[in-house]
């Protein structure tokens, strides 16, 4: 997209009553035009059933899904495209890695910053006999690898940690945690919902065993698509059984990836939209990612300059994901979010953001926070608009 396209997108959103969209941590909006085109194309000219037909529309859909899988693998630094499993979103990816792996009697160590996409499946697994050991993060949201190491004194099947907090933007030291966990014989399962598309995620460097990705946040794809990277060495059980388009003579699921984890007709428009999003992120979108970092720091520092807001998470100037969460000294986070929407057409989100554990860690369990999630399409003008509004609210 050119700067003119971005201006047009911002203009279009004003038509819809939103002058600045700061809810990217929930879902990115608007999407790059290439993503929209790919979805429309899948619904119009290319809509055959992938892997299930020998006619040209079916074959073309299979080929395009393969290309999207390969593009996602390359973008995330995965060596083999078949280790990329398409899912309905990061929630399903987290369920697959946790419920597919953990069994009664297993022990799992988990960070205190996790989203309910991890906390809730773990609650179910705990009822089935999995021992869940929660390790407290620092008040700025950072997991200290030494605390993880201390928690690994008993035999442990897995360490679960998110890459970036959806509440504070804190970036966790995943490579270090992975080294420690592997030394202790535990596998590492990561919720990368707020990292993929915002940070440069290189799975070959991180060395994790499973990495869950949301397709519709920083990855800029449509809602309803996500993926799970599974290390070639890690075998987990699938969540579902059903048709895969091949080996139909047996009631057993195929053992090969990705089919064994992807029964049923796939979300072809979503997958092709995600493929187009990855092409964008690897091309002109790279500059947008750098810009995101600058805008996040600008917003954080600007809020501190205004005063009257408590900002959660890392100190200004430290690396963070594009999320800034605040609690106003006067009024509540929901009141602030409602006022920003009503008076200024600024979209953001207030509450616990599906992450009560993180709020317990930060001391914001009772109030929640008002969260500004930055991303594609936002410019300095939008950030200044938000800062001006926050100045007025405080006065
Ligand atoms: N994990 C984290 C940290 C999130 O912020 C979210 C979404 O808010 C999810 C998981 C769930 O992602 P999805 O909407 O793709 O299921």
Quickly state the pLDDT bin for 289 (edges 50, 70, 90).
confident
Q: What's the pLDDT score for residue 26?
A: 98
Inform me whether the pLDDT recorded for 4 exceeds 70: no
Average pLDDT, the chain: 94
* Ligand 1 centroid – CA 291 distance (Å): 23
Asked whether the beta carbons of 274 and 72 are under 8 A apart, the reply is yes
Quickly state the pLDDT bin for 9 (edges 50, 70, 90).
low
Mutate which of 95, 115, 119, 220 for ligand 1 pocket (most atoms within 8 A of beta carbon) = 115
- Pocket lining: 214 vs ligand 1, CB cutoff 6 Å: yes
- Pocket lining: 164 vs ligand 1, CB cutoff 6 Å: no
Residue 93, CA atoms < 13 Å, CB-side half-sphere = 30
Cis peptide before 132 (omega within 30 of 0): no
- Pocket lining: 73 vs ligand 1, CB cutoff 6 Å: no
Cis peptide before 35 (omega within 30 of 0): no
* Ligand 1 centroid – CA 214 distance (Å): 6
- Pocket lining: 178 vs ligand 1, CB cutoff 6 Å: no
Bridge partner residues of 211 (DSSP):
190, 229
Encoding tokens for residue 29? 């909006």
Ligand 1: atom nearest CA of 353 is 8
Q: Which helix (H) or strand (E) holds 347?
A: strand 346-347
Q: Which helix (H) or strand (E) holds 99?
A: helix 90-99
Ligand 1: atom nearest CA of 191 is 1
Q: What pLDDT digit, counting tens, does each position of 53-85 carry?
A: 889 999 999 999 999 999 999 999 999 999 999
Q: What's the pLDDT score for residue 12?
A: 53
- Pocket lining: 172 vs ligand 1, CB cutoff 6 Å: no
- The residue whose C-alpha atom lies closest to atom 1 belonging to ligand 1 is 193
* Ligand 1 centroid – CA 305 distance (Å): 31
Mutate which of 28, 90, 95 for ligand 1 pocket (most atoms within 8 A of beta carbon) = 90
Q: Which residues are marked as active site?
A: 354
Neighbouring C-beta atoms of residue 64, cutoff 10 Å: 20
Q: What's the pLDDT score for residue 16?
A: 63
* Ligand 1 centroid – CA 90 distance (Å): 5
Q: Provide φ and ψ at 214, rounded to 5°.
A: -95, 135
Q: What is the pTM of this model?
A: 0.95
The number of angstroms, rounded, from the C-alpha of 176 to the middle of its chain's C-alpha atoms is: 20
Dihedral (Cα; 264, 208, 357, 117), 10-degree rounding: 0
* Radius of gyration, alpha carbons of the chain: 21
Label the pairing between strands 107-111 and 346-347: unpaired
Encoding tokens for residue 218? 């920083």
Tell which residue, 60, 9, 28, 2, has the closest CA to residue 272: 60
Q: What's the pLDDT score for residue 2?
A: 45
Domains and their CATH numbers in the chain: 3-22+287-394 (3.90.1150.10), 37-282 (3.40.640.10)
- Pocket lining: 93 vs ligand 1, CB cutoff 6 Å: no
Residue 339, CA atoms < 13 Å, CB-side half-sphere = 16
Ligand 1: atom nearest CA of 114 is 3
- Pocket lining: 28 vs ligand 1, CB cutoff 6 Å: no
Tell which residue, 285, 283, 288, has the closest CA to residue 380: 288
- Pocket lining: 193 vs ligand 1, CB cutoff 6 Å: yes
Q: What pLDDT digit, counting tens, does each position of 189-202 carry?
A: 999 999 999 999 99
Q: What pLDDT digit, counting tens, does each position of 356-391 carry?
A: 999 999 999 999 999 999 999 999 999 999 999 999
- Pocket lining: 166 vs ligand 1, CB cutoff 6 Å: yes
* Ligand 1 centroid – CA 266 distance (Å): 20
- Pocket lining: 115 vs ligand 1, CB cutoff 6 Å: yes
* Ligand 1 centroid – CA 75 distance (Å): 20
* Ligand 1 centroid – CA 89 distance (Å): 8
Q: Is 61 helix (H, G, I), strand (E, B) or coil?
A: helix
* Ligand 1 centroid – CA 193 distance (Å): 5
Once rounded to an integer, what is the mean pLDDT over residues 145-154? 98
Quickly state the pLDDT bin for 311 (edges 50, 70, 90).
very high
- The residue whose C-alpha atom lies closest to atom 2 belonging to ligand 1 is 193
């Amino acid at each position: 997209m050119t700067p003119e396209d971005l201006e047009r997108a911002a203009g279009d959103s004003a038509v819809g009553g939103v002058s600045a969209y700061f809810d990217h941590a929930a879902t990115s909006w608007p999407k790059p035009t290439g993503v929209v085109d790919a979805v429309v194309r899948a619904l119009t000219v290319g809509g055959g059933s992938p892997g299930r037909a020998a006619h040209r529309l079916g074959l073309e859909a299979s080929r395009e899904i393969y290309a999207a899988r390969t593009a996602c693998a390359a973008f995330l630094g995965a060596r083999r495209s078949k280790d990329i499993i398409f899912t309905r979103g990061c929630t399903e990816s987290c369920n697959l890695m946790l419920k597919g792996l953990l069994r009664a009697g297993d022990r799992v160590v988990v960070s205190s910053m996790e989203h309910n996409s991890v906390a809730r499946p773990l609650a179910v697994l705990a009822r089935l006999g999995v021992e869940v050991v929660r390790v407290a993060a620092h008040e700025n949201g950072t997991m200290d690898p030494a605390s993880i190491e201390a928690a690994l004194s008993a035999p442990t099947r897995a360490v679960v940690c998110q890459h970036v907090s959806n509440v504070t933007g804190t970036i966790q030291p995943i490579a270090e945690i992975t080294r420690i966990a592997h030394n202790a014989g535990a596998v590492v399962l990561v919720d990368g919902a707020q990292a993929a598309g915002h940070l440069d995620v290189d799975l070959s460097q991180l060395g994790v065993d499973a990495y869950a990705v949301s397709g519709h946040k920083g990855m800029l794809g449509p809602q309803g698509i996500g993926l799970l990277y599974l290390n070639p060495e890690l075998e987990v059980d699938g969540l579902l059984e059903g048709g895969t388009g091949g080996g139909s003579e047996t009631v057993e699921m195929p053992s090969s990836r990705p089919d064994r984890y992807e029964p049923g007709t796939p979300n072809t428009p979503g997958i092709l939209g995600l493929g187009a999003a990855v092409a964008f992120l690897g091309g002109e979108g790279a500059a947008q990612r750098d810009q995101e970092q600058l805008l996040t720091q600008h917003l954080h520092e600007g809020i501190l300059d205004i005063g009257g807001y408590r900002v959660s998470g890392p100190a200004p100037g430290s690396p963070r994901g594009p999320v800034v969460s605040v609690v106003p000294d006067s009024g509540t986070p929901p009141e602030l979010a409602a006022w920003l929407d009503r008076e200024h057409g600024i979209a953001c989100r207030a509450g616990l953001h599906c992450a009560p554990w993180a709020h317990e860690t930060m001391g914001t369990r009772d109030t929640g926070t008002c969260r500004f999630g930055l991303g594609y399409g936002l410019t300095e003008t939008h950030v200044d608009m938000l800062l001006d509004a926050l100045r007025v609210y405080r006065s």
